[in-house]
Amino acid sequence: MNNVKFIFAGIVSLGLTSAILGCSATSQPDDSTSTSTSGGGAGGSNVTTTTAIGVSPLDGPCYAVFVANAWGRHAKLSLSYGGQSYDVAQFARVPSGVGAAAQYNPLPAQGLPPGEVAVLFLSHRPGVYHPIGSSLECPTAPAVLLDTAIHNSGRGTAFAISSDTPITSYDILPYGGAQSYLPSASLLYPRTAWGSNYLAVAPHGGNNSGKLWLGLVGQTNNTNVTLNSPVSLPGGGNAPAVTANTPTTFTINAGEVIQWHGADPTAAVLQSDNPVAVFTGSDYLRVPTANSLSGGGQDSAHQQIPHVSALGHEYVGGGVVTRRADLALEDMHYRLVGAVDGTQLTWDPGPPMGAPTQLNRGDVVEFSTTSFSSSLHKTMASPSASLST
């Protein structure tokens, strides 16, 4: 019997797969000897890619990254995009206040102060707005005045953020919270936490939801990647078409993005000869439940997912606050993906209705429940994890 790893994704609360890895140390070491999962050595480096929204009039809304400095020294930040460096002082702001009272203060010359958060406004399409009337532009001029998302399948360019001090980063699209109507966010893993072997998991599909997608970001030029998906992934825009159950090999360069749009990549296996980053999402997510049939308003959705060796053996499904107007408990959807045959699942206090007790490689199981506030999956051993394509 294999006691191995699987992915437990809350597909209403789209942060659970992204929360498997932490991006800050439990204690702060002396600067002269510091290393951290927030970056390499004494610094930090993150790469992120703009995702598309499945409502064409809204293309190119404000894309931003939050950077948190939990260390005891200022963090000097830098940004590059498409081989060009940008002056961070022109588009990074340290916010204070809430809502209409928010103030966007300039980033100090010495860098982001300890204990502070900066917002890096990366891009927007000038004039973008929601049909209801709200502007979807950034509150200050971004680094790039373009729609930097890849629409449909294709290749594009990632933003690279670096720091001389360990940082924690997370992105949001569009920036603006509820007033932007469509926000989605993800923790961004530092380059040191990237891997070369992935099992893809995407959000819930169907139910008049948007199109699902899979995206890769390269770290090293001429990286060879092999992708084997249980369903065909449409090509286009120099992204190769992937035929179901047929390994497809291609190359990706540093800072390059390849995206497949229009099919569910869940249970696809990726293997590369250098580390890459993997993102999945939906361009217009809708998640109805048995007792919330409308599914609420639709939003974009994206998440950076961990590589196979970073998957764990215990997961907590906390659910989210009910969306019902009467505040009654709402069913929460969960999606599980098996990584290796014979994975045994143990639930605490017991398996919710519809939840499996065993998974094999490639199994994709969804269930919904209101019967628990947390559930655990436990396995007995910690074998080396590598999935072949």
The DSSP letter of residue 13 is S
Confidence label for 188 from pLDDT (cuts 50, 70 and 90): very high
Contact (Cβ atoms closer than 8 angstroms) between residue 283 and residue 261? yes
> What end-to-end distance do the CA atoms of the chain give, in Å?
22
Q: What is the mean pLDDT of residues 305-325?
A: 85
Mean pLDDT computed over 309-329: 83
Can you read off the two tokens belonging to residue 275? Answer: 């580390």
DSSP state of 75: B
**Separation between Cα atoms, residue 226 and residue 218, nearest integer Å:** 13
pLDDT digits (tens, 9 = 90+) for 66-90: 999 999 999 999 999 999 999 999 9
Nearest to 114 by CA among 78, 161, 70: 70
Q: Is the dihedral of CA 241, 305, 256, 122 positive or negative?
A: positive
Q: What digits encode the pLDDT tens for the residues 225-249?
A: 999 999 999 999 999 999 999 999 9
Share of the chain above pLDDT 70, in %: 85
For range 46-56, the mean pLDDT: 81
Pairing of strands 269-285, 332-338: unpaired
* Mean pLDDT across 94-121: 94
Q: Which residue has the higher pLDDT, 292 or 7?
A: 292
Look at residue 189 in the predicted model and tell me its pLDDT.
Answer: 95
Query: Of 275, 251, 257, nearest to 217 (Cα)?
Result: 257
Max alpha carbon distance in the chain (Å)?
58
Domains of the chain, by residue range, sit at 35-192
- Written as one string, the DSSP assignment of 126-157 is TT-B-TTS-B-S-SS--SB-S--PPPSSEEEE
In the structure, what pLDDT confidence band is assigned to residue 372 with cuts at 50, 70 and 90?
Answer: low
Strands 212-218, 195-199: pairing kind: unpaired
pTM assigned to the model: 0.86
